[in-house]
Structure 1
Amino acid sequence: MANTAQARKRARQTVKANAHNSSLRSRLRTAIKAVRKAVDAGDKAAAQQVFQQSMSVIDSIADKKIIHKNAAARHKSRLSAAVKALGAAAA
């Protein structure tokens, strides 16, 4: 247990920050899963729509440094490739 007032305050703040960051990470994972689900369904138009919304979520969370910017870029790249491959498979 924290011994000083400062350490006790930091412990309290950490709990709150951890809960906030966890909810943001959950939003990120949900956005990624939504794109994957749309790609698996095979509807390119819907997949592109969900992909655009997910890009905003991914960028926002990377800006807050919840995930590293390169990790965000990697997620975006892989999701983009999956959506583009969906169009190539349909053609």
Structure 2
Amino acid sequence: MRSTSAAFALLLVAGSAFGQPMPTVRDLLAAETKATQGCEGSGDPAAIREQCVLRDRLSGRLAQAGYCWGRKGQTDAKKAWHPCGPDSIYIDDVEAVRR
């Protein structure tokens, strides 16, 4: 019981990020959109690279939240983030690392 309580308390502290609420999916989507725009922009290569890295991290967090980018058969222009479903494009990152 003691270890369960300690583990739960640790999850609460880690999940709250020093008292701040965890970002919502809406927050993540907005941040990913902004980072994508910065990544596709022009100007300082270091700033662009930073935005691309941020975009990739946010994409990973969206995937962890159960969101997918695009559906099977869609053109790139029509792809958007959505809750994953049977027709979603899903890349198994763990399996990709094993190859």
Q: TM-score, normalised by structure 2?
A: 0.38
Kindly name which structure, 1 or 2, has the bigger radius of gyration based on alpha carbons. 1
Q: Higher strand proportion, which one?
A: 2
Q: Higher helix proportion, which one?
A: 1
Q: TM-score, normalised by structure 1?
A: 0.40
- If asked which structure has higher relative contact order (CA below 8 Å, sep 6+), I would say 1
